[in-house]
């Protein structure tokens, strides 16, 4: 960092790489927070090449709360996160990736108040609105529109086995020490997982209660290409594989309950069905058949119909 950092109540961490088109909105949404609590904004730029760093430096010069945390070379998302967290000293962290933004100007105040009033809760999060990049349009509440009722408290089992439960990083506030305990950067690198938020929250849910604020706090940008949303069917399949590697890892590490394994197998079968429809791959078909043979779960009739249709299509195409 290129200026003197003073500990505040909250450190807001912004992880960014080549977000020149989005970073200004991101920073404005953070600095526009109305709160009684002090906060710093630590922007971790992983050697952007699109002019993002120059835009960040303008904010560093304009606002004493904004700090730029850099790397000597492009190190990737895991090491970029590890690096910026090492600079944080505040008791609480909030995170907003460079292409996302905050909507609720009272986000920090509301979440800090919650954590102060509920000392047995180590993290709190909320809902988002999807921002459709191609249409330049903000949608409605993501969870409410899908009928998601997010559990609170010790949520490990529900979060592990319910594919509709998604913790949006841009809505999170967390005790810093719990984040450090839960974000196992060495494990992420060792396993090569394409998602780092899911294993962090699964690990965290073993150590503390997690709260939920039922309102839209942030905008979640759906661009053409991102870590969790890609136009490439091959990458989509790779990402899905990584997600279930994570889920099975934490099932074995902390649970090993057969009823949870059955739920995971069912979830994974639906993921493979979706990927089979996209890629029409014999390899995916064989994995799905093996899972169905070994797994202790049942399909609804419509799933069987999908599988039979795709199997016949694959046979006809000879792939």
187 Cβ contact partners less than 8 Å away, ≥ 6 residues apart: 199
According to DSSP, the β-strands at 10-16 and 39-45 are parallel
Q: For residues 231 and 237, what is the distance between their CA atoms, to the nearest angstrom?
A: 11
- The full set of domains in the chain, from first to last, is 10-222 (3.90.550.10), 257-317 (no CATH)
Q: What angle do CA 42, 179, 160 make, to 5 degrees?
A: 125
Q: Is residue 231 predicted with pLDDT exceeding 80?
A: no
Q: How confident is the model over 202-223, as pLDDT tens digits?
A: 999 999 999 999 999 999 998 7
Instruction: Please state, rounded to an integer, the average pLDDT across all residues of the chain.
Output: 94
pLDDT of the residue at 319: 52
CA distances from 234 to 275, 279, 300 (A): 9, 7, 27
HSE at residue 169, side-chain half, CA atoms within 13 A, is: 22
Q: For residues 26 and 219, what is the distance between their CA atoms, to the nearest angstrom?
A: 10
Cβ neighbours, 10 Å, residue 279: 16
Q: Is residue 12 predicted with pLDDT exceeding 80?
A: yes
Nearest Cα neighbor of 197 from 173, 166, 224, 221 is: 166
Q: Which of 33-42, 106-115, 286-295 has the lowest mean pLDDT?
A: 286-295
According to DSSP, the β-strands at 137-141 and 209-222 are unpaired
Q: For residues 219 and 304, what is the distance between their CA atoms, to the nearest angstrom?
A: 37
pLDDT of the residue at 226: 52
SS3 state of residue 36: coil
Mean pLDDT across 178-199:
97
Q: Is residue 94 predicted with pLDDT exceeding 90?
A: yes
């Amino acid at each position: 960092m290129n200026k003197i950092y003073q500990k505040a109540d909250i450190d807001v961490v912004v992880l960014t790489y080549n977000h020149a088109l989005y970073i200004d909105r991101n920073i404005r949404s953070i600095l526009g927070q109305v709160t009684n609590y002090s906060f710093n904004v630590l922007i971790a730029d992983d050697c952007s090449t699109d002019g993002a760093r120059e835009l960040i430096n303008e904010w560093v010069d304009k606002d004493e709360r904004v700090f730029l945390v850099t790397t000597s070379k492009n190190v990737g998302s895991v090491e970029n996160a590890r690096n910026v967290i090492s600079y944080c000293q505040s008791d609480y962290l909030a995170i907003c990736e460079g292409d996302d933004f905050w909507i609720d100007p009272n986000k920090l105040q509301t979440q800090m108040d919650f954590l102060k009033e509920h000392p047995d809760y180590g993290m709190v999060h909320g809902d988002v609105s999807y921002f459709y990049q191609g249409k330049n349009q903000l949608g409605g509440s993501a969870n409410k529109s899908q009928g998601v009722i997010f559990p609170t408290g010790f949520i490990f089992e529900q979060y592990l086995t319910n594919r509709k439960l998604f913790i949006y990083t841009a809505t999170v506030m967390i005790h810093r020490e719990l984040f450090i305990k839960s974000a196992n950067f060495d494990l992420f690198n060792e396993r090569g997982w394409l998602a780092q938020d899911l294993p962090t929250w699964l690990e965290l849910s073993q150590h503390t209660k997690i709260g939920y604020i039922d309102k839209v706090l942030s905008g979640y940008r759906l661009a053409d290409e991102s870590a969790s949303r890609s136009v490439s069917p091959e990458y989509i399949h790779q990402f899905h594989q990584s997600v279930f590697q994570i889920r099975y890892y934490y099932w074995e590490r902390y649970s090993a309950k057969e009823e949870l394994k059955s739920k995971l197998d069912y979830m994974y079968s639906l993921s493979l069905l979706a990927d089979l429809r996209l890629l029409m791959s014999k390899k995916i078909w064989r994995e799905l058949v093996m899972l169905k043979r070994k797994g202790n779960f049942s399909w609804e009739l419509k799933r069987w119909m999908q599988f039979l249709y795709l199997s016949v299509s694959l046979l006809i195409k000879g792939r």
